[in-house]
Amino acid sequence: MSTSYSIRFACHPEDIRYYKTEKLRNHFLIKDLFKNGEINLIYSHYDRFIIGGIKPNLSALVLEVIPPLKSEYFTERRELGVINIGEPGVVSVDSEDYHLGYKEALYIGKGAKKIVFSNKEGNQSIFYLNSATAHKAYPVKKITQEESELVELGSHESSNHRVIRKLIVNSIVDTCQLQMGMTELKSGSVWNTMPAHVHDRRMEAYLYFDLPKDQVVCHFLGEPEHTRHIWLTNQQVVLSPPWSIHAGAGTSNYTFIWGMAGENLDYSDMEKCKLTDLR
């Protein structure tokens, strides 16, 4: 079996105020997500969200159902999004091939029975997966970088000049609740999602990548008045509960993929936190 998984349970916001570093990292940081020749999944109790890393080798990898789903196949009651952060590869959905280049995305709706990931000859693809529960079947759709919706925010002066690239969002793709995209920081900028905000009706997961070797990102989470932090390296993920802020600062510019699920598809539905109120 090439598909493995682990489970992350939800935490009360008052509890994490007292977590020591190791416990905080054990609950919210996902390390070693991308393993050669494996599909590695994290089943989170925040909105039943699944985070996955897929790194094919010579053999294709089939997405197998995992026991927590109690279903016949993975997307029997789920939708999923895939973004390729490696070299060009192929995702096959019920025998139809979709070729994904670097930073291209694929939405797969409820009801797809066989999903297979593979490299193109001589390449090393790295597929990042997010999945949420679904009540309706929507068609498979590939989204290129040119088809994404762009938003430019921040400034060089405030060290947060960034481009948000919306890929799997309701203005581009019909989904039940899954939303995905990426934020690319410009050279010289280090802060993302700043000012910080909270969206109580959605959880979120962040995959940090494009981070140079030996460089790091400090991710901030927790309630605005009780913030905590986690240090990450390249291709690591942080879970962000609905009650938590999410912001980060790196020792270099970087890119991160954000994935969200919950009861609301409105990207702008958030409560911004006044910078001077953060503690």
State the pLDDT at residue 165: 95
Distance separating alpha carbons of residues 26 and 35, to the nearest angstrom: 19
In CATH, what number does 3-277 get? 2.60.120.10
Q: What distance lies between CA 277 and its chain's CA centroid?
A: 27
Residues 6+ apart with CB under 8 A from 18: none
Q: pLDDT per position in the chain (279 positions), as tens? A: 678 999 999 999 999 999 999 999 999 999 999 999 999 999 999 999 999 999 999 899 999 999 999 999 999 999 999 999 999 999 999 999 999 999 999 999 999 999 999 999 889 999 999 999 999 999 999 999 999 999 898 888 888 899 999 999 999 999 999 999 999 999 888 888 877 888 877 899 999 999 999 999 999 999 999 999 999 999 999 999 999 998 899 999 999 999 999 887 777 777 777 878 778
Confidence at residue 155, expressed as pLDDT on a 0 to 100 scale = 86
Single out the residue of 190, 210, 173 nearest to residue 82, CA to CA: 173
**Confidence at residue 1, expressed as pLDDT on a 0 to 100 scale:** 61
Other CB atoms closer than 10 Å to residue 218's CB: what's the count? 14
Q: Which residues contact 20 (CB under 8 A, 6 or more apart)?
A: none
Cross-strand bridge partners of residue 182: 165, 257
Q: What letter would DSSP give residue 254?
A: -
